[in-house]
Amino acid sequence: MSCDSYPIPKIVIPNGFQFSCDAESFKSAISGIFYAKANNDVRPFLNHINFSINFHQMKLYTSDGHRLAKDIIQLENSVDDLNGILPFKLAEMLLQAQPDGNLGFFFDVSHFYWSAEGTVYGTNFLIKVFFGI
């Protein structure tokens, strides 16, 4: 089979990130709330980290339906009034990669990316709208 059947996706890195923060702060916050995450729950909204950003602060929440964990991170720059979900797989990749310095996050209609030390990591959104919430 030709390699053209599996093209390398083109990632367009924006001029500015939706938000960025110190890698150590982010890794510490994610590690601190991972204990309460759901593992392959049938309720897809429990399989992600919920975040909200206001006034250069990011609030992270995760729950398995019984426990709720929360942490707050100071951001270096951000847009205000941003709410969304961070897929667990992307957060796990971030913890495994052990980046240093500054992390930049951006997303488009169907992908969520983070960038550190010249490398871009990404994941597809599996679902865009959670019904019945």
Distance from C-alpha of 83 to C-alpha of 99, rounded to nearest angstrom: 24
Report the amino acid identity of residue 59: K
Average pLDDT of the chain, as a whole number: 80
Q: Which helix (H) or strand (E) holds 94?
A: helix 88-97
Distance from C-alpha of 5 to C-alpha of 1, rounded to nearest angstrom: 7
Cβ proximity of 17 and 106 under 8 Å: yes
Q: What is the pLDDT of residues 77-110, one digit of tens each?
A: 888 888 888 878 778 888 888 888 888 888 777 7
Q: Which pTM value belongs to this model?
A: 0.76
Q: What's the mean pLDDT in 104-122?
A: 81
pLDDT of residue 28: 92
Pick the closest to residue 101 from 45, 33, 27 (CA basis).
Answer: 27
Pick the closest to residue 117 from 98, 96, 132, 101 (CA basis).
Answer: 101
Distance from C-alpha of 113 to C-alpha of 105, rounded to nearest angstrom: 6
pLDDT of residue 63: 87
| Sheet containing strand 102-107, strands side by side | 77-78, 19-22, 102-107, 111-116, 119-124
